[in-house]
Amino acid sequence: AQSVSQHNHHVILSEAASLELGCNYSYGGTVNLFWYVQYPGQHLQLLLKYFSGDPLVKGIKGFEAEFIKSKFSFNLRKPSVQWSDTAEYFCAVKRNTGKLIFGQGTTLQVKP
């Protein structure tokens, strides 16, 4: 079945460590890709998105993601995490009518 997969369900890092969260999708053709973040007690916010052009996308708060078409991947990265990055992260693919298909989410815990 077509889907979005996030490999890491729970990640624990120390501050200043580097972060990479995996996201793979199984849809063919043109894809629009997103990473959303949900901080504790808050609603989902957009971190970054890819529609076309440069496959390396820069988002807010120092996050970036790389679209690799041949690998059907859109991994999220941050060189040095902070305690305030503790949150749940969702990868999503936009489908034909505009609906978003989400991965199951990755909980990131950053230890001070």
CA distance 29 to 12: 34
Nearer to other proteins, 17 or 64 (CB): 64
Query: 């969702």: which residue's tokens?
Result: 90
Nearer to other proteins, 6 or 73 (CB): 6
Nearer to other proteins, 27 or 102 (CB): 102
What is the gyration radius of the CA atoms in the chain, in angstroms?
A: 13
Contacting positions for other proteins (CB under 8 A): 4, 6, 32, 36, 42-46, 49, 51-52, 90, 94, 97-105
Q: Which two tokens stand for residue 100?
A: 């978003």
Closest approach, Cβ 16 to other proteins, in A, equals 29
